[in-house]
Chains A and B, each alone.
Chain A
Amino acid sequence: AQSVTQPDIHITVSEGASLELRCNYSYGATPYLFWYVQSPGQGLQLLLKYFSGDTLVQGIKGFEAEFKRSQSSFNLRKPSVHWSDAAEYFCAVGARNFGNEKLTFGTGTRLTIIP
């Protein structure tokens, strides 16, 4: 069964500082990997995704993530955070086989930005 671990429940970063959110996954083959962001009371917005190819993926809002197969990781990074980045971030893994569409989410990392 697939699983996702986000080891950091809460991270506080100063505005303008760099950010890295960790994500480790467990899956029997090469997975689909996603990062979503959720603002309070809102649904999930896709930041970026990895399906295949280049292991460094660029997303929206200046985010990027790197797929490292040897470490089963898909960490999210941003070189300089903005106050508007404060939200909850979820890493998710999806099955590759058509007909098994479901996402398994990590427990999320809450990001706080301090001025």
Chain B
Amino acid sequence: KAGVTQTPRYLIKTRGQQVTLSCSPISGHRSVSWYQQTPGQGLQFLFEYFSETQRNKGNFPGRFSGRQFSNSRSEMNVSTLELGDSALYLCASSPRGDEQFFGPGTRLTVL
């Protein structure tokens, strides 16, 4: 069974732009979560989707948003990028919500 895939793997943007990251979960997994990883703040939970509904949200500004499609694929969007948004963005999928399987991440650099 294929693992969690994330595209693109690397991304460079400038301040003020917006970006969309994509995540394809493991087949059959209906829960998708997003995390931000930075050297200063570590791994922080962004949000979680289940059956196209956002069920949980972390403490991030409204510039960070996401959605999930009927095939469980998920996207996250960051608008008006700031330098501090440079991070590794990890997506994880889960069949039941207890064990999460992580993708390789998208490395976002904001210049």
Interface residues on A, range: 20 to 34
B64 CB contacts on chain A under 8 angstroms: none
Closest beta carbon of chain B to A25's beta carbon, Å: 15
Among listed B12-20, B72-80, B90-98, interface-contacting one: B90-98
- Those of B48-98 within 8 Å (CB) of chain A: 48, 50, 55-56, 58, 90, 92, 94, 96-98
Closest beta carbon of chain A to B36's beta carbon, Å: 11
Q: Cβ of B45 and Cβ of A102 under 8 Å apart? A: yes
Q: A44-B90, A90-B43, A108-B42 are in contact. Are A101 and B33 (CB under 8 A)?
A: yes
B100 interfacial contact with A, CB 8 Å: yes
- Those of A80-115 within 8 Å (CB) of chain B: 90, 94, 96, 98-108
Closest beta carbon of chain B to A60's beta carbon, Å: 13
A27 CB contacts on chain B under 8 angstroms: none
Closest beta carbon of chain B to A109's beta carbon, Å: 12
Bound CA–CA A108/B42 (angstroms):
8
Bound CA–CA A101/B101 (angstroms):
13
Q: A43-B90, A101-B48, A102-B45 are in contact. Are A36 and B97 (CB under 8 A)?
A: no
A36 CB contacts on chain B under 8 angstroms: 102
Q: A101-B48, A108-B42 are in contact. Are A46 and B101 (CB under 8 A)?
A: yes
Q: Cβ of B56 and Cβ of A32 under 8 Å apart? A: no
Q: Which residues of A contact B (CB under 8 A)?
A: 32, 34, 36, 41-46, 49, 51, 90, 94, 96, 98-108
Q: Which residues of B contact A (CB under 8 A)?
A: 4, 31, 33, 35, 42-43, 45, 48, 50, 55-56, 58, 90, 92, 94, 96-105, 107
A-B contact pairs, 11 of them (CB 8 A): A43-B103, A44-B92, A101-B31, A101-B97, A103-B35, A103-B45, A103-B92, A103-B100, A104-B45, A105-B43, A108-B42
